[in-house]
Copies of this chain bind each other. A is one copy, B any other.
Amino acid sequence: MNIGDVAERAGLPPKTIRYYEEIGLVRPERMPNGYRRFRDRDLHKLRFLGRARALGFSIEDCRTLMDLYEDESRESAQVKALAEEHLQAINDKIAQLEEMRATLSHLVRSCHGDDRPDCPILRDLAQSG
């Protein structure tokens, strides 16, 4: 497979795949003309990475997860711990965004939004406390 093929099958842009190679997440072979050659194993890895990234894992987490995946003697506790940590981070992020949403939606509701300059949103941002 060329990079375009594997990109389509893995659902990732070619640029991203080149980047993943650069940081050592995949190691495709090369053909005599310099093109990358992707095997099924590489495609499998890329799909794994795509799914892990879609769940919000960082690149370094993805690297760890791949290592664990390929380590037959892993302990599932390690995987679970990593996932739980990430889940906690997601929960924190959601909580933070929900706080923003609460404040912001309140402000939006309180602003009439017409052609007059008076604006509770700006008033709130400007208030010191």
Contact = CB atoms under 8 A, between A and B. Distances in A.
Q: Interface of chain A, helix or strand or loop or mixed? A: helix
A69 interface: yes
B90 A100 contact: yes
Interface string A91-128: 10110011011011101100111111111011011101
Nearest to A128: B47
A76 B125 contact: no
Size category of the A interface is 35 or more
Interface of A: 44, 47-48, 51-52, 54-56, 65, 68-69, 71-77, 79-81, 83-84, 86-87, 90-91, 93-94, 97-98, 100-101, 103-105, 107-108, 111-119, 121-122, 124-126, 128
